């Protein structure tokens, strides 16, 4: 399904901004938000639903987040308009797809309207354990290999944003979902200050400032993308870790949260974890760690996070 105008996809053009057009036609606006557990999918949908409701729209929202705490798929349908009959968005009917994880975004692309859908996606990769079929550390993963350039061939407008890294640079990686809300806000007709009021209701009070920064960063990123020439958007600049590229695994262990339960030590397939003299988990054999993320998913206290850091391929830009 190749689109002849795909080369214009770097800009959110005024005529394609869907809220006004949809409202005029009395059609509901359909926004699908997807990701994996712990990324804040539900918060994005609540902020949007609350804002739409405050503007007098009828809003229907449905979500699935059964495996949220264990890295499972989470998705939320938000529909709003003068009248909305069903809470779920049929395939091919989403005006906007917001994805907090790259492969999840690709999995849901079929839900976008083929001729006008807007795809906003974090390039963050959360590789599920079953993608580590080869137990060699650093081995290629069975993970989506599509590049943003390839995705643009199938989508009216596609934005691949390194939102997690942007949020990290602001000092709070968890604000990545709000960077995406900032991007989303440019495709809807609600004023920025109303978005900010809505956001402030749904983030912890002590993180309001950083989340507002993240929101503004997402908006400004899109504004810059509108002016960017498509040829300048080389795929390698947007996908932090191409599927075949080498990567390094980094375990972030929050010692204060480790309760010495030993679960991760016992269940690590490579037996590379241990409890130290203080009975706090540590990575004893880093060279054996494959980055499978089982320890992260199984720790009941969220004391471990597994990061796959990009390692520049020889001769390729970092």
CB atoms within 10 A of CB 33: 32
Looking at beta carbons only, is 28 or 37 nearer to ligand SF4?
A: 37
Distances (CA, A) of 213 to 27, 182, 199, 304: 33, 9, 11, 27
Looking at beta carbons only, is 87 or 300 nearer to ligand SF4?
A: 300
Per the CB < 8 A criterion, the answer to whether 179 and 166 are in contact is yes
Least Å distance, CB 35 to ligand SF4, is: 20
Least Å distance, CB 73 to ligand SF4, is: 20
Calpha distance 105→99 (Å, rounded) = 5
Per the CB < 8 A criterion, the answer to whether 180 and 100 are in contact is yes
Least Å distance, CB 216 to ligand SF4, is: 35
Looking at beta carbons only, is 140 or 235 nearer to ligand SF4?
A: 140
**How many residues sit in the footprint of ligand SF4 (CB under 6 A)?**
25
Site string for ligand SF4, 275-314 (x = CB under 6 A): ------x-------xxxxxxx---x-x-xx-x--------
Site string for ligand SF4, 1-40 (x = CB under 6 A): ----------------------------------------
Looking at beta carbons only, is 28 or 291 nearer to ligand SF4?
A: 291
Residues in 51-80 at the binding interface with ligand SF4, rule: CB under 6 A: none
Query: If we measure between CA atoms, which residue out of 268, 275, 312, 313 comes closest to residue 291?
Result: 268
- Estimate to the nearest angstrom the gap between the alpha carbon of 56 and the chain centroid: 29
With b for 16 or more beta-carbon neighbours within 10 A and e for fewer, the 223-259 pattern comes to: eebeeeeeeebeebebbbbbbeeebebebebeeeebe
Site string for ligand SF4, 245-274 (x = CB under 6 A): -------------xxxxxxx---xxx-xx-
Instruction: List the beta bridge partners of residue 220.
Output: none
Looking at beta carbons only, is 37 or 148 nearer to ligand SF4?
A: 37
Least Å distance, CB 289 to ligand SF4, is: 3
End-to-end CA distance of the chain: 32
Residues in 148-177 at the binding interface with ligand SF4, rule: CB under 6 A: none
DSSP run (H or E) holding 184: helix 176-185
- Estimate to the nearest angstrom the gap between the alpha carbon of 17 and the chain centroid: 22
Under DSSP, is residue 306 helix (H, G, I), strand (E, B) or coil? strand
DSSP run (H or E) holding 64: strand 58-64
Least Å distance, CB 176 to ligand SF4, is: 21
Least Å distance, CB 75 to ligand SF4, is: 26
Looking at beta carbons only, is 106 or 303 nearer to ligand SF4?
A: 303
Least Å distance, CB 302 to ligand SF4, is: 8
Q: How do beta strands 304-310 and 247-253 pair?
A: antiparallel
Least Å distance, CB 263 to ligand SF4, is: 4
Looking at beta carbons only, is 14 or 278 nearer to ligand SF4?
A: 278
| Site residues, ligand SF4 (CB under 6 A) | 258-264, 268-270, 272-273, 281, 289-295, 299, 301, 303-304, 306
């Amino acid at each position: 399904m190749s689109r002849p105008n795909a080369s214009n996809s770097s800009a959110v053009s005024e005529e394609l901004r869907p809220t006004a057009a949809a409202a005029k036609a009395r059609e509901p606006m359909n926004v699908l938000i997807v990701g994996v557990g712990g990324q804040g999918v539900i918060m994005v949908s609540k902020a949007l639903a609350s804002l739409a409701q405050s503007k007098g729209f009828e809003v229907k929202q449905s979500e699935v987040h059964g495996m949220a705490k264990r890295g499972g798929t989470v998705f939320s349908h938000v529909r709003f308009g003068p009248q909305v009959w069903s809470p779920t968005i049929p395939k091919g009917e989403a005006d906007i797809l917001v994805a907090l994880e790259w492969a999840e975004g690709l999995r849901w692309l079929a839900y976008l309207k083929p001729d006008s859908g807007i795809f906003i996606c974090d390039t963050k990769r959360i590789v599920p354990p079953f993608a580590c079929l080869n137990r060699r550390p650093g081995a290629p993963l069975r993970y989506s290999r599509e590049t943003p350039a390839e995705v643009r061939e199938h989508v009216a407008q596609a934005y691949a944003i390194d939102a997690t890294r942007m949020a990290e640079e602001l000092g709070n990686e968890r604000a990545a979902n709000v960077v995406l809300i900032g991007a989303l806000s440019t495709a809807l007709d609600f004023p920025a200050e109303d978005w900010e009021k809505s956001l402030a209701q749904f983030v912890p009070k002590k993180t309001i400032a950083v989340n507002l920064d993240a929101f503004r960063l997402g908006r400004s990123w899109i504004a810059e993308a509108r002016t960017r020439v498509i040829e300048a958007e080389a795929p390698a600049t947007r996908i932090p870790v191409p599927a075949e590229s080498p990567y390094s695994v980094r375990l972030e262990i929050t010692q204060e949260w480790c309760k010495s339960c030993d679960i991760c030590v016992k269940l690590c397939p490579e037996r590379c974890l241990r409890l130290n003299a203080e009975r706090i988990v540590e990575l004893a054999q880093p060279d054996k760690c494959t980055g499978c993320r089982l320890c992260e998913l199984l720790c009941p206290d969220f004391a471990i996070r597994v990061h796959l850091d990009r390692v520049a391929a020889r001769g390729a830009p970092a």
